[in-house]
Amino acid sequence: MGDADLFNAALGLPSQARAQLAHELIRSLEEDPEEDQHLVELEWAEKIQHRVGEIEKGSVAAISSSVVFADIRDQLSSKGR
């Protein structure tokens, strides 16, 4: 089966199967998924430490989750009008 035949066969799959195939193909391009996950976790840890530092220095103010969610609900309800 040639590349074009393979591509056309893939396009003929149901959408769920195409999505799974696309996911697996993209994952196969990653050199080491575990290493990538480790890098992501390190980047998040750095970001969290940076944000905590901003709060501790007082350069930003924390907003409670109840206020954030209330604002989101207000924005969503105003869009529905």
CA–CA dist 22, 42 (Å, integer): 27
Q: Alpha-carbon distance 78 to 76, whole Å? A: 5
Specify whether 38 is located in the same domain as 74. yes
Does this model's pTM top 0.75? My answer is no
**Do 10 and 48 fall within a single domain?**
no
Is 26 in the same domain as 47? no
Extract the tokens encoding 31.
Answer: 């050199």
**77: which 2 tokens?**
């309800």
Number of domains in the chain: 2
Tens digit of pLDDT for each residue in 41-66? 999 999 999 999 999 999 999 999 99
Range of the domain at 24: 1-30
Length, in residues, of the chain? 81
Q: How far apart are CA 4 and CA 2, in angstroms?
A: 6
Q: Which tens digits make up the pLDDT trace of 31-42?
A: 776 777 888 899
Q: Using CA atoms, how far apart are residues 14 and 45, in angstroms rounded to an integer?
A: 39
